[in-house]
Amino acid sequence: MSDLNLQMKLKFITFFVSLITVSVFSQETEFVAKVSKNKLGLNQRLRVEFSINKQGADNFAPPNFKNFKIVGGPSHSVSQSWINGKATFSQKYSYIIKPLNKGEFNLPSASIEFEGKTLQTQPVKIIVTDEVEVPKNPNDPDYIAEQNIHLVAEISKSRPYVGEGIYVEYRLYFSNNVGIYDNAVTEAPQYNGFWNQEIKRDGSQVKTALYNGEEYRYAVLNKALLIPTKSGKLTIDPMKMDIVVAVPTGRGDFFGNPITKQIRKEYASARKVVNVKQLPLEGKPESFSGAVGEFTYELTSSKNVLKANESSQIKVEVKGVGNLKLFKLPKIETPKELEVYQPERKEKVNITTGGLSGSVTDNYTVVPAYKGKYKIPKTEFSYFNPRDEKYHTIATDDIFVDVTEGKELVTNTSENQVVKQNVVTTGKNFRYIQTSTSLAPLVKSDFYRSPLFYVLLLLPIAFIPIAIIINKKKEERDADIIGSKQRKADRLARKYLSESKSRLGNKEAFYEALERALHNYLKAKLRVETSDISREKISQLLQEKGVEISTIDEFISVLKDCDFARYTPITNVQMNQEYEKAKQVITQIDKQL
């Protein structure tokens, strides 16, 4: 029985080993070279690793480390694992090297033999700069966090035309050496000189990309469409964030897992400069009103044949991609015999990375009063296309409105005036004048001693005690100085927050209105443009006015919440809480001021 069990165990082990071997050999052969960094200073070092994913490779030959000095290695390691039914194998050769010269170098290929073939790695590009400042302790958590996390602002085009849409994307790059536990936007970027709108994204999916030649994970934090409204150098201020980073300490726990330390660090993207080009003057049409992009244009009528007092819709429509909300549509001219109402504007616009796409329409309601045939003259629409850097003009055809039924409009062909008609008497022209009447004596009523007389006499006397009570209540309210200040502050808070209250339920509109209300309140109280100064300066000004530190912190907290809420999901309950918090803090500041 024991021999039978032994045979069963041997068969199982043989089957398991065979399964691993088949799985490993079924993988595609890869022989690659990886470096710890592609860009370093002359006084720094880097790690080079050559790995193959197949067992049985031999005769490894390292590259010629020209322009570099080997300061460590080679070290050889083999690893094999079986995870979720998938077997992996890796054989690695590692070196620590130091650059000898500044410049841009290609690390040559390494080679290894496998199944009678010689495999080679791809050359690796390495950039060596001047010596950089290296901390005394390379394991310093602040230094590790700074080297492994980068907040980057990327713009789609650095030299657009005025009115041409570009986009800015804020990415947070982080390497596999660190972890992120919490993050918050402390200062949102300012887009002075740009019409801007946030581009909605589907969550913050983590992706992989190369940054400075090294592989990083990254998440898109914010993306916005920018349309410059003037030419010259326009600056995009940095976005600032507080991030809680978990960095390795170089030590391991009982099971060999690395021990990390959490630190809070502030990051800021680089300030970006966009050089905006003025639209060319050469070839600029008279009908150009600022449209930049690619568009189509139409002038249409809902009815060309109608009766007098029957309405028709004249539609002026521009479709395409560009700065759809930032230019004027052509206006139509109609004969004076047609009554035209103010146009109704309709916008169906989507925000994309290429600009605003959709259509903008003006609908004119036209009502004829007289029979006849009328012409609505053609119109022109011009736009500038940044792709071919040329102006384009689209002209429409004349529109004719044929009124088949209605009053005749008789005019003098020489003077273009209506012909006066002679009045014809029929004997019944003045029938409305009454020539007879019947009179009756007027009954005189005596107001004195009437019921109305006594009511009006006693009414002032009845109001005296009411006036006394009202006056007493007013004196009590006036004596209550604290209560009076509270009521005044509450009214002021409701006044400034009225717009944000009306936007409850619409996240973006609510927080924009709430932030604007807070800035407008401080602008009125401090006599400064608070939107142009930092929160630290706002805090300083409020302290100088005698506002308590705790109240100032609550005010700054609401401002931060306005920025952060735009990048996170928010419920209606949270918006209501934010509104009440803002109302309370304005009331407190006003009482203390």
Q: What is the pLDDT of residue 274?
A: 92
The rounded mean pLDDT for the chain is: 79
Q: What is the C-alpha to C-alpha distance for residues 515 and 498, in angstroms, rounded to an integer?
A: 12
- Residue 328 or residue 88, greater confidence: 328
The most confident of the ranges 13-17, 150-154, 437-441, 451-455 is 150-154
* Residue 60's pLDDT band (cuts 50, 70, 90): confident
Please name the amino acid found at residue 35.
V
b/e per residue 66-105 (b: at least 16 CB within 10 A)? ebbeeeeeeeeeeeeeeeeeebebebebbbbbbbeeeeeb
Give, in order, the Cα–Cα distances in Å from 131 to each of 39, 43, 67, 99: 12, 5, 16, 11
Residue 575 lies in a domain: yes
Same domain, 257 and 341: no
Same domain, 364 and 243: no
List, for residues 271-291, the tens digit of each pLDDT value: 889 999 999 999 999 999 999
Q: What is the pLDDT of residue 545?
A: 78
Q: What is the pLDDT of residue 416?
A: 45
Task: Give alpha helix (H) positions in 503-534.
Answer: 507-526
Residue 509 lies in a domain: yes
Listed residues 243, 276, 309: the one ending a domain = 276
Residue 105 lies in a domain: yes
* Residue 296's pLDDT band (cuts 50, 70, 90): very high
Listed residues 232, 253, 276: the one ending a domain = 276
Q: What is the C-alpha to C-alpha distance for residues 371 and 402, in angstroms, rounded to an integer?
A: 8
Q: What is the C-alpha to C-alpha distance for residues 505 and 221, in angstroms, rounded to an integer?
A: 23
Same domain, 395 and 297: yes
List, for residues 421-478, the tens digit of each pLDDT value: 444 444 444 444 555 666 666 655 666 667 777 777 778 887 788 888 887 777 776 6
Residue 464 lies in a domain: no
Residue 471 lies in a domain: no
Q: What is the C-alpha to C-alpha distance for residues 242 and 42, in angstroms, rounded to an integer?
A: 32
Q: In the predicted model, is pLDDT for residue 293 greater than 90?
A: yes
List, for residues 527-548, the tens digit of each pLDDT value: 666 555 677 778 888 888 788 8
Q: What is the pLDDT of residue 23?
A: 45
Q: What is the pLDDT of residue 25?
A: 44
Residue 136 lies in a domain: no
Same domain, 110 and 146: no
Same domain, 110 and 177: no
Q: In the predicted model, is pLDDT for residue 557 greater than 50?
A: yes
* CB contact at 8 A, 339 and 403: no
Q: What is the pLDDT of residue 492?
A: 58
**Residue 89 domain boundaries:** 31-129
Q: Mean pLDDT lowest for which of 94-108, 407-421, 443-457?
A: 407-421
Average pLDDT over residues 176-193: 84
Name the nearest CA neighbour of 144 among 36, 254, 68.
Answer: 36
Residue 84 lies in a domain: yes
pTM for the predicted model, two decimal places: 0.50
Residue 5 lies in a domain: no
| CATH number where 181 lies | 2.60.40
Same domain, 587 and 489: yes
Same domain, 104 and 82: yes
Name the nearest CA neighbour of 356 among 291, 310, 300, 403.
Answer: 291
| CATH number where 124 lies | 2.60.40.10
Q: Quote helix, strand, coil % in the chain, to nearest 5.
A: 25, 40, 35
* CB contact at 8 A, 334 and 374: yes
Same domain, 236 and 292: no
- Residue 133 or residue 242, greater confidence: 242
Name the nearest CA neighbour of 315 among 328, 332, 296, 339.
Answer: 332
Q: What is the C-alpha to C-alpha distance for residues 63 and 50, in angstroms, rounded to an integer?
A: 10
Same domain, 270 and 318: no
Domain count, the chain: 4
Give, in order, the Cα–Cα distances in Å from 264 to each of 246, 323, 553: 9, 41, 19
CA 450 to chain centre: 75
List, for residues 354-407, the tens digit of each pLDDT value: 788 999 999 998 888 888 888 889 999 999 999 999 999 999 999 898 888 767
Same domain, 125 and 211: no
Q: What percent of the chain is modeled with pLDDT above 90?
A: 14
* CB contact at 8 A, 32 and 121: yes
Is the dihedral angle over the CA atoms 225, 230, 233, 237 positive or is it negative?
Answer: negative
- The SS3 of residue 400 is strand
Listed residues 383, 407, 431: the one ending a domain = 407
Same domain, 351 and 386: yes
Q: And the tokens for 275?
A: 């050089």
Q: What is the 3-state secondary structure (H, E, C) of 71-90?
A: EEEEEEEEEEEEECCEEEEE
Side by side, the strands of the sheet bearing 258-268 are: 179-187, 240-252, 258-268
Same domain, 384 and 508: no
* Residue 22's pLDDT band (cuts 50, 70, 90): very low
Q: What is the pLDDT of residue 227?
A: 92
